[in-house]
Structure 1
Amino acid sequence: MDRIWQILMDFAAYPNWNPYIKEISGEVKEGSKIKVHMKQEWEKNGVTLRPRIIRLNPGKELTWKGSFFFPGLLDGEHSLILEEISGHKVRFIQKEIFNGIAIPIISTSWSIEKGTVRSFGDMNNALKKRAERAR
């Protein structure tokens, strides 16, 4: 579990392995703002957000909350969570909770829900490969 947490917290290495979150920078501390650049494989430029860390439980969870354009339009709460299953088995949970006034419009769109799920899967697989190579 510690190894996976180390990989997740090594933001400088994200461009080397992470196909979805291309950059994270800033102080990892509850209440601080960080810079996160995400790019889905079919996007030309991706999106850069400056969310605030709202939960940090070292070794177990990092959650940030950010907004697209302005707060209340489309907000996203992104979590990276580790759960120990047994021995050397760890469950990695990555989730996003969207809310805001744009949800009714966007929920009919393919890009937010399906695109996010696909990108999470790509990142999760890359994390698994990186963790297994590190053994």
Structure 2
Amino acid sequence: MRKIDIEKQININATVEQVWQVFSDFKAYTEWSPTILFLTAAPQQGESTTVLLQQPDGKKMTMHPKVLQLVEMKELRWRGRLLLPGLFDGEHYFILKPLPNGTTLFIQGEHFDGLLVPLLRKMILGPTQRGFEAFNQALKRKVEEQVTMSL
């Protein structure tokens, strides 16, 4: 199997605008994010950026994904590759969906494809998936903490 998809969702007790305000403040990730440690620049659609990631097992990696989609208060999507196309490609996405009760469904996922996917299956379904959960939980805490402080 050369393809694996993972996705994690979390309900955040805040509006999409409040979630986007924290999510899109990429320079502040160093203060709260356990997995996305650093972006060299705010993502711009069609451009590449540099991202420093840390898995829950402690492994760090630097990626240079190309931003495929950036729609304010809705979605950020990028594609990263290991060396050559078709070897190990990942299309990572973050989606914000407003819910009728004024809260936000935050979705983070990735479509993995390539020759190395079967060899990296354990990492994808283990530390990578746990990293998505950790980021989502940390974002929820940060946003809800800011909402509470502004009341």
Q: TM-score, normalised by structure 2?
A: 0.82
**CA pair 17-29 structure 1, distance change in 2 beyond 3 A:** same
2:130 to 118, 125, 131: 118
Identity over aligned pairs, percent: 35
Quote the residue 1:69 is aligned against.
83
Q: Does 1:92 align with 2:106?
A: yes
How many angstroms apart in 1 are the aligned matches of 2:55 and 2:116? 20
Give the drift of 1:70: 2.7
Question: What is the RMSD computed on CA atoms of the aligned residues?
Answer: 1.3
Q: Secondary structure at the match of 1:134?
A: helix
In structure 1, the gaps of 5 or more residues are none
Quote the residue 2:34 is aligned against.
19
How many angstroms apart in 2 are the aligned matches of 1:28 and 1:130? 21
Q: TM-score, normalised by structure 1?
A: 0.91
2:58 to 7, 32, 43: 43
What letter is aligned with 1:72? G
Quote the residue 1:80 is aligned against.
94
In structure 2, the gaps of 5 or more residues are 1-15
What letter is aligned with 1:9? S
Quote the residue 2:6 is aligned against.
none
On the 8 A contact 2:82/2:89 being kept in 1, the answer is yes
How many angstroms apart in 1 are the aligned matches of 2:84 and 2:30? 27
Quote the residue 2:46 is aligned against.
31
Higher relative contact order (CA 8 A, sep 6+): 2
On the 8 A contact 1:27/1:33 being kept in 2, the answer is no
